[in-house]
Amino acid sequence: MRQVELLSPAGTLEKLKIAIDFGADAVYGGVSHFSLRIRAGKEFSFEEFEEGIAYAHSRAKKVYATINGFPFNSQLNLLKKHILKMAELKPDAFIVATPGVLKLCHELVPDMPLHLSTQANVMNVLDAKVYYDMGATRIITAREISLRDLVEIKKELPDLELEVFVHGSMCFAYSGRCLISTLQSGRVPNRGSCANDCRFPYEMYAANPETGTLFRLEEDEGIGTYIMNSKDLNLASHIKEILDTGAVDSIKVEGRTKTSYYAAVTAKAYRMAIDDYYNGINDVEKYQYELNSLQNRGYTDAYLISRPFEKHDTQSLDFTMQLGTHQVSGQVSEDGTHFLCKYKTLPNDELEIVAPLGSHVEIVDNEIGMTYERDGRVYMKLKQLLAENKKVWDEVHSGNVNPITLPLRLPPYTFLRIPSHEDMGTYPKI
């Protein structure tokens, strides 16, 4: 039986490696302004993207290249060159958003699998069939689609792969169709430069056009004025319902501009959920323990399981971002011998070790520190903060560029975390 694919975001080469190491079957990312995440796309050079593809392929994983921006006429010759150059890197598919770009890719690189972006907002069999007839091998359906409609599309087009978002930021509008950012700052969402204006607080006014009088409306305390701020999608508790349909070929995590820790934890949580499903297990609490450790805007299961008119809890009106249950304290180096501090760390702090699934963490006790197990999790305490340059620190803080020695070798890109505290506050507005 073919298992569902777990598809994770890759905003940088490091995040690509982390997502794969922590359980992703495939990753997606892009190079240049033809990718819908300009901020993330700038992190990849062609050479790095090629290295990432080689890294994935050496582990029997896949890489999908995003060419899902909406080009202007003046860019079409550049777009053609970009398509051909990206094809030379041998990704496993292109992700495109418009009929014209889909047709152009099919003409220039006819053997390349083509995935239709969620930007196309496919919601029904009719639209799915149009794109399938044009050469799309997979459709990333609209976030607003229902599970029932996915089943109907698969029934009508059994050879068409269907991909759905299960986690990450939600767009205020149909994905990428909002023009608020364009209006306020000139940054165009469907060209990869959305400024996230829907995440801002807004003041409300009432105007009298006859007198020109303008009144500022006061909000009751606790209601909030983040009137367009959608909660983050989280469907980890519904993986069984989704996979039981047999209609979904790939589940997708949003977040190319998010942190390396986000890439790791989302891949790990959904990998556990998928593997458990095929083993007849559904341990929702285990998956949500990991996902709740991430900063978020509050979580919602959105529209795949319930229809939009049935949902009244999809907005965070009184804040834009909140801390998760845990704070990242450190990130382990690629060689596994040191970590870089990400938050204030003192000797004898209890640090939870977050390693890729299947990793073995040795239990040790030496002059540098110790590891131990409790409640099925592995922790570490450092007896001394010994830097790579042999300096011993009383404490280290985020921004300290001195790698700190570990008491044992850990898997590459392992994370160290501690519980969040109320006095850490909330994240700044974004």
**Rounded to whole angstroms, how far apart are CA atoms 256 and 63?**
13
pLDDT tens for each residue of 309-368: 566 666 665 666 678 999 999 999 999 999 999 999 999 999 999 999 989 999 999 999
**284 phi and psi, to 5 degrees?**
-60, -40
- Domain membership of residue 208 (yes or no) is no
- 17 and 93 both lie in a single domain: yes
> What is residue 135's predicted lDDT score, i.e. its pLDDT?
96
- Domain membership of residue 321 (yes or no) is no
pLDDT tens for each residue of 16-64: 999 999 999 999 999 876 765 555 445 789 999 999 999 999 999 999 9
Provide the 3-class DSSP secondary structure of residue 123. coil
Structural domain including 35 reads 5-174+231-309
Rounded to a whole number, what is the distance in angstroms from the first to the last CA of the chain? 43
CATH code at 351? 2.40.30
- 255 and 389 both lie in a single domain: no
**Rounded to whole angstroms, how far apart are CA atoms 306 and 144?**
10
Q: Is the dihedral of CA 259, 263, 266, 268 positive or negative?
A: negative
Q: Nearest-CA neighbor of 3 among 290, 273, 265, 303?
A: 273
Q: Nearest-CA neighbor of 160 among 139, 141, 143?
A: 139
**306 phi and psi, to 5 degrees?**
-115, 150
Tell me the two tokens of residue 305.
């399981």
CB neighbours of residue 70 within 10 Å: 18
**Whole-model pTM over 0.85:** yes
**Rounded to whole angstroms, how far apart are CA atoms 325 and 318?**
19
- Domain membership of residue 117 (yes or no) is yes
- 75 and 101 both lie in a single domain: yes
- 18 and 150 both lie in a single domain: yes
- Domain membership of residue 388 (yes or no) is yes
Q: Are 404 and 397 in contact (CB under 8 A)?
A: no
- Domain membership of residue 183 (yes or no) is no
DSSP 219: P
pLDDT tens for each residue of 205-235: 788 888 988 887 776 666 667 777 788 899 9
- 333 and 418 both lie in a single domain: yes
**Rounded to whole angstroms, how far apart are CA atoms 198 and 177?**
12
Domain count, the chain: 2
CATH code at 166? 3.20.20.70
CB neighbours of residue 123 within 10 Å: 16
